[in-house]
Chains A and B, each alone.
Chain A
Amino acid sequence: MDIGMYFKPPELTSGAFKVWRRNKDVFMKNAKLNLLPPFIEPLLYLFAMGFGLGMFIEEIDGVPYAKFIAPALISVSVMYGAFFECSYGSYVRMYYQKTFDAIIATPLSIEDVIIGELLWGATRSTISATLMLPVIALFGLITFPHSLLIIPFAFLAGLLFACLGMCIAAVTPNIMSINYPIMLFITPMFLFSGTFFPLNVLPEIVQYIALAILPLTHVVMIIRALTFGTPGLELLFNLAWIIGVCAIGFVVSVNMMKKRLVV
């Protein structure tokens, strides 16, 4: 087995944007249905956890609990948006709908298709984050204009989770098996990335593990600094981590999927 083949940089062409557009068109056909969850979800979480649980917690690091979890809600929806789109969504399009097969019979290449899917996954994250901002702002839980930076950042972070999802779609033997990486990786990330309680209450070793392998940790740190309106230079470390892992994930996920599809 040649490991090197997984690191061959893919070719980025305009074909990828045609695939992106296909997915966007489908999304817009059901726009009302698709755009609703980003409005509803933060409300549910804020009421249940922010204001319900918040009754008992009051403050974390001197911040009201609702304000503490608001950036986590955005981060989690960035993660879910792209991850589900490029794991379940891409798998369904690839395996059940044969959409990829149809597209590669045209001048578009398999790389165009996969990159288009990844870009669309990142776009889903961006859409979710963008729609959540005003809802959360209504409760006065985020700071402007800093929080506007969350929109472009959601694309980058979304791309990272899209690549993760695509790696899983590339190796999963069937659709049910996608549950395993979710249980083993996505759910722990949801819980242990400094989302609903601060990282520093965990044992030190767990904190290091979280920083080393849980992308959401870095995403939460950046988004929290932005909603609090206190971005600092230390965020460059988080940003560099995300960009580095995203670049590797991008190349590897495209090649993993190619390996599955080119027979």
Chain B
Amino acid sequence: MIYIPQVIVGKDVRKEFGEFTAVDSVAFSVDEGELFGFLGPNGAGKTTTMRMIQCISPMTSGTLEVFGMDVNSHQREIKFKMGVVPQENNLDPDFTVYENLFVFSRYFDIPENEAKKRVEELLEFVHLEEKRDTMTESLSGGMKRRLVLARALINKPRLLILDEPTVGLDPQSRHLMWDKLKGLKKQGVTIVLTTHYLEEASQLCDRLVIMDNGKILVEGSPRDLIQEHIGPAIVETDKDPNIISCLEAHQANYEVLGEEIQIYTDNPQEITDHLLSECKLKRVTARTATLEDVFLKLTGRKLRE
């Protein structure tokens, strides 16, 4: 058995804003070198959880350790080893691209010569060399996001926290971001991210949790979660009372989602044939199950306010 140290361990982590419970006594742990995802609908409590891990929002109760240190008492030590990409860009509009990185390096006590070297490397890493003297306001959304990533890496963090790193990025920039994150993971950086792109989570995350209303609903690898909650494939057809009674008669594992019926199965071919003949279905499509199916099944289709 190989011993893998845990970088983040949270137990009974709870956050209340007045009467409202944003994070409801959750437990999670992130192993070293892992890419771990927090998924969940708007308002689920992802950002609130990230902010507690970053030591900038005090927990209401519970215990939370990062690198084996308590977030309540070792904030400085933890923050030295951590890089953060917040949900909202907060680049310094008073400075250029280059200055943003350089001024940030001072907050980490990085000696000036070393800092200059790192800034050059990072500008290259996120492809912003040409924009070095541009004020951050004149950057495009994708460039800003890349600069925030570069800024998060200035201290060579062992733990990287990314709150919706790819929000608003075009497909090219999103793939670039994925490549960068995969590269960092290869270097042994532990990465925690939140995202609404389930495709992204499936591709990147070793393990993830799905949160809703402040609670963690499930935890596992994308593949296991799909297997466990949906099965390998889905057969979809239009909603119709006759079909539902037919499915009931056959004790099929199905769910009605809006105007659609989804049947979860190991064997889509057999089910499809069966349904077409027995239940007189008109339109039937079969496809492999995705993390999005798990997400919608667990969190429902209702819009969050």
Q: Write the residues of chain A forming the contact surface with B, with a CB cutoff of 8 angstroms.
A: 15, 18, 21-22, 25-26, 29, 97-99, 101-109, 262-263
In the assembled complex, the CB of A104 is this many whole angstroms from the nearest CB of chain B, namely: 5
6 sample A-B contacts, Cβ–Cβ < 8 Å, listed by A number: A25-B103, A97-B92, A97-B94, A102-B86, A105-B84, A107-B80
Known: A29-B94, A99-B92, A263-B17. A106 touches B104 (CB 8 A): yes
In the assembled complex, the CB of A257 is this many whole angstroms from the nearest CB of chain B, namely: 14
CB neighbours of A108 from chain B (8 A): 107
- CB neighbours (8 Å) of B108 from chain A are 106-107
Interchain pairs with CB closer than 8 A, number: 57
Q: Given the complex of chains A and B, what is the CA–CA distance between A118 and B90 in angstroms?
A: 22
Chain B residues, Cβ within 8 Å of A263: 17, 57
In the bound complex, residues from chain B placing their C-beta under 8 Å from that of A109 are: 75-76
Quote the shortest CB–CB distance from A106 to chain B (angstroms). 4
Is B90 a contact partner of A98 (Cβ separation < 8 A)?
Answer: yes
Complex Cα distance, B152 from A106, in Å, reads 9
Q: Which residues of B sit under 8 angstroms from A26, Cβ to Cβ?
A: 94-95
Question: Please, how many angstroms separate the alpha-carbon atoms of A104 and B55 in the complex?
Answer: 9
Kindly provide the distance from the CB of A83 to the nearest chain B CB, expressed in whole angstroms. Answer: 20
Q: How far is the CA of A26 from the CA of B135 in the complex (A)?
A: 12
Q: Please give me the 10 A-B residue pairs with the lowest Cβ-Cβ distance, nearest first.
A: A98-B90, A106-B107, A102-B90, A105-B84, A26-B94, A107-B79, A107-B76, A107-B80, A101-B90, A18-B106
Instruction: State the CA gap A44–B43 with chains docked (Å).
Output: 55
Q: How far is the CB of B227 from chain A (nearest CB, A)?
A: 37
Residues of chain B contacted by A102 (CB below 8 angstroms): 86, 90-92, 104
Chain B positions within 8 Å of A, measured between CB atoms, are 17, 54, 56-58, 75-76, 79-80, 84, 86, 88, 90-95, 99, 103-104, 106-109, 155
For B92, B95, B109, the residue with the greatest tally of chain A CB atoms inside 10 Å of its CB is: B92
- With A18-B107, A29-B94 as contacts: A105 and B86 at CB distance below 8 Å: yes
Contact of A105 among B56, B92, B94 (CB under 8 A): B56
Residues on A with beta carbons closer than 8 Å to the beta carbon of B90: 97-99, 101-102
Task: State in angstroms the CA–CA spacing of A105 and B91 once bound together.
Answer: 12
* Bound: A195/B107 CA distance, A: 42
Q: Specify which chain A residues have a CB less than 8 angstroms from the CB of B76 in the assembled complex.
A: 107, 109
Q: Closest B-chain residue to A105, C-beta based?
A: B84
Tell me, in angstroms, the Cα distance from A97 to B136 when the chains sit together.
Answer: 11
**Chain B residues, Cβ within 8 Å of A104:** 56
Determine how close the nearest CB of chain A comes to the CB of B111; give it in whole angstroms: 14
Please name the residue on chain B nearest to A97 by beta carbon: B93
Task: Note all chain A residues with C-beta closer than 8 A to B56.
Answer: 101, 104-105, 262
Task: Provide the residues of chain B in CB contact with A105, threshold 8 Å.
Answer: 54, 56, 79, 84, 86
Give chain B residues whose Cβ lies under 8 Å from the Cβ of A15: 107
Contacting residues, chain B, for A97 (C-beta < 8 A): 90, 92-94
Given contacts A99-B92, A105-B54, A262-B57, contact A22 B86 (CB under 8 A): no
* Interchain CA distance A26-B79 in the complex, whole Å: 25
Query: What are the residues of chain B within 8 A of A29 when measuring CB–CB?
Result: 94
Residue of B nearest to A261 (CB): B56
Assembly CA distance A263 to B16 (angstroms): 10
The chain B residue sitting closest to A23, CB to CB, is B94
Asked whether, in the complex, the Cβ of B107 is within 8 Å of the Cβ of A103, the reply is yes
Smallest CB gap from B92: residue in A: A99
- Contact partners of A25 in chain B: CB under 8 A: 95, 99, 103
Q: Nearest Cβ distance between residue B176 and chain A, in whole angstroms?
A: 23
CA distance A98 to B93 in the complex (A): 9
> Which residues of the other chain, B, contact A99 by a CB distance below 8 angstroms?
90, 92, 94
Structural contact, A98 and B88, CB atoms closer than 8 A: yes
A106 near B91 with CB under 8 A, answer no
Q: How far is the CA of A102 from the CA of B56 in the complex (A)?
A: 11
Q: What is the minimal beta-carbon distance from A189 to any residue of chain B, in angstroms?
A: 30
Closest to B91 in A: A102
- Kindly report which residue of chain B lies nearest to residue A15, judged by CB atoms: B107
